[in-house]
Amino acid sequence: MKSNFLCLLALLLIAGCSKPKVEADYQIVPLPQTVNSIGGQGFELNGKTLIIYQAGNEVQKQTATFLSEYIKYSTGLELSITDTDASDNAIILKTGYEGENAEAYSLTVNANRIVIDGACEAGVFYGVQTLRKAIPVQDSEVEVVFPAVEIKDYPRFGYRGMHLDVSRHFFPLDFVKKYIDILALHNINRFHWHLSDDQGWRIEIKKYPELTKIGSQRAQTLIEKKDGEYDGKPYGGYFTQNEAREVVEYAAKRFITVIPEIDLPGHMQAALASYPELGCTGGPYKVAEDWGVFEDVLCAGNDTVYTFLENVFSEIIEIFPSEYIHVGGDECPKARWKECPKCQAKIKALKLAADATHTKEDRLQSHMIGYVEKFLNSKGRQIIGWDEILEGGLAPNATVMSWRGVEGGIEAAKQHHDVIMSPNSYIYFDYYQGEDKDSEPLAFGGYLPVQKVYSLEPVSKSLADDEKKYIIGAQANMWTEYINNTQQVEYMLMPRIAALSEVQWCKPENKDYEKFLPRLAGLMKYYKKMGYNYATHITEIAAEIKPAGNELIVKLFTYDNAPVYYTLDGSEPTEKSTKYEEPLHIGQTADIKAVAYRDNEKSKIYEKKLNFNKATLKGIELVNPTHQNYAFNPSILVDGRRGSGGFASAEWLGFFGNDFIGIVDLGEVQEISKVVTGTYEVESSWIFGAVGYTVAVSEDGKAYKQVYDESYPVMDKVRPTSTVDLTAQFTPVNARYVKITAKNTGTIPDWHAGKGTPAFLFIDEIMIE
């Protein structure tokens, strides 16, 4: 009896010591290229599991250490690492995998072991990331069952970048490391560090100590977007060279290369404030307290400037071993160069001439970028520049980072230059994440939800097959004019970086936003566990709206397939409303409202107004070209949806200095009496309203009769951002073709900071009744 009691006690103790088990899920972000079940018993991860790395391999030992830390964080289990082989209950790290992609890996799971085999050490690291993210996040200690699989994985692009601007606002060393950890979680391998700008020089240069003594400090900062209002508080900060090296080393352990940017020849006001002799006028200059573009730039005719650049980059390349050095090249006004005797003398000496598309000053910028490139090439480095470096002729070996849409990248690829796609309308993370901007942190503008990021396809169909190889990757950018603390950086970054990671890693045919959402929800549990400050918009209803003949097909979905109820008349939906079961076919004006229910709690109401009129889903032709940054399909002007997300949301067409002229084909002759055209005014972004509005009609598309003409005054003062409808009301007339002209302001007036340059005109929906 005593013996039976002891046996029972032992069994109870064993049962009490056993840990609950959870099952790993390989549906992660980014999604591996192939995940194949191989059947049989899976692998049980427990406290006795060993992590084994190859003897003598210190890099792999570091990766093994990371894996041990990751597993402890997720499960509470403390696994030992060793270079001594074991026959079972082990996670084996090794290299030797044969694949065409240098960062490829395989991950094989059976009952005895998990083997991560990389084509190189980076491949092993990405295999570790996959294993790590497959473990469900837990709050208590658990053991994990990994189903038996074979994963073969590799990235689509070799360049997978994420950017951080520390010039507009400075962020401390510890946060930069945290930022790098977030990049590593998402398989990103390039950290673009924007270290200099008008508002602050952030890296120590020993030969030029004034750059950090003076250039890293500004007297005050613009308050939000309030022109002329400042906080009166000195602001500054910079990284020593030793701190920068510490960042480089920290990133390298996570297979991330740090690419420094020293922006030139524009965005140099902090440097000019430090060394006034580098400018065309000699100053005085001050570190910029506002955001935007400034006329004072490096003097391209001054030989001292070229010496300065050589000396700065000589120190930069000693700190940063990256093959690439980013030299900026964006937003450089040429007004000072046009007036500067030294610059004009340099133009004459170099025999630079204007042509139909480039001024001689454009050619001068190209000369300066080419000079820096030649210097860096001589040191074994290559340059990256923003797409403005195309203007005036592209430096021979330069890589182009295309931010003003994708057109610059397409042009560079056609010239057989490497390209990194970074279009602002898809992957500028300083744009708003939600349409309700009043409930969002202050942002630059625009509207860039996770779904829009996910939709980016970096390789344009307009490229020939032999040109597509020049698209080497994609990068998102985090500009920080309106992001002044680390919590906001995290909020603007996550979860959009997850969508970015799939753009960078996955093949287009493997991308599916609806299937991505549940995987993203799992990743967001990691965000929560780690204490990150992330946006939660994906818990709201998402929609996909596509035209089909004379209808709009509306597809509603949620990340967790929660039941959705909707109305079409603008009334508030409840559980008693129509339940969404299949895509909606909308062929008339509707005010869609939808709500999801989870545990008797309502989601935020989704609303989209669809306005059907005689122009909706009809053909439209543009007479004048749009600006390359805002050159979307003209059909967005007649898609029944009014632009609401800001000018950079890809909902508006932008015209730079020229008029909007569009011809709508109604399909048949019919009576009309009213034409409304939506415009968008944001004077702080040089977007002015129309100064004239004309409507002409035709039955045959050849002979037009003007039925309306109105002029409007040029904007003469600062105005709030607003949508302004141009409305033409006239006596009923029969027409098939309707020619609509909205006249551009042309040249920005003298009262504005952009005086003398072309104005933007933005157009969205055309409505004809």
Distances (CA, A) of 688 to 150, 167, 192, 713, 758: 57, 29, 33, 11, 10
* 267 among known catalytic residues: yes
Q: Are 373 and 397 in contact (CB under 8 A)?
A: yes
Q: Pick the catalytic residue from 331, 514, 551, 659.
A: 331
- Distance separating alpha carbons of residues 82 and 382, to the nearest angstrom: 40
CA 200 to chain centroid? 23
Residue (of 594, 507, 612, 494) closest to 544 by Cα position: 594
Distances (CA, A) of 497 to 3, 35, 252, 257, 494: 61, 23, 20, 17, 6
Provide the token pair at 273. Answer: 């404030």
DSSP helix/strand/coil, 410: helix
- Distance separating alpha carbons of residues 669 and 231, to the nearest angstrom: 60
* 331 among known catalytic residues: yes
Residue (of 563, 564, 615, 565) closest to 589 by Cα position: 615
Q: Are 459 and 511 in contact (CB under 8 A)?
A: no
DSSP helix/strand/coil, 682: strand
Helix (H) or strand (E) holding 27: none
Q: Pick the catalytic residue from 163, 194, 267, 326.
A: 267
Sequence-ordered list of residues with C-beta below 8 angstroms from that of 368, at least 6 positions apart, any chain: 264, 265, 298, 300, 306
Sign of the CA dihedral 284, 286, 291, 293? positive
| Adjacent-strand bridge partners of 194 | 165, 261
The full length of the chain comes to 769
Strand order in the sheet with 143-146: 21-23, 143-146, 43-45
> Taking the C-alpha atoms of 243, 246, 248 and 249 in order, what is their torsion angle to the nearest 10 degrees?
170
- What is the bridge-based pairing of β-strands 542-548 and 551-557? antiparallel
- Distance separating alpha carbons of residues 85 and 413, to the nearest angstrom: 48
DSSP 354-378: --SS--HHHHHHHHHHHHHHHHHHH
Q: What is the number of other CB atoms lying within 10 angstroms of the CB of residue 33?
A: 17
* Interior angle at CA 482, CA 481 and CA 487, nearest 5: 115
Among the residues of 135-223, which ranges form H helices? 173-185, 210-213
Residue with tokens 């001689």: 360
760 phi/psi in degrees, rounded to 5: -90, 150
DSSP helix/strand/coil, 452: helix
- Distance separating alpha carbons of residues 52 and 347, to the nearest angstrom: 63
Q: Pick the catalytic residue from 103, 197, 430, 481.
A: 197
Residue (of 181, 164, 316, 333) closest to 251 by Cα position: 181
Q: What is the number of other CB atoms lying within 10 angstroms of the CB of residue 307?
A: 10
Helix (H) or strand (E) holding 3: helix 2-17
Residue (of 728, 706, 170) closest to 485 by Cα position: 170
Q: What is the DSSP letter of 15?
A: H
Amino acid at 230: Y
Distances (CA, A) of 146 to 21, 214, 550: 10, 56, 50
- What is the bridge-based pairing of β-strands 601-602 and 590-598? antiparallel
Q: Give catalytic residue positions.
A: 197, 267, 331
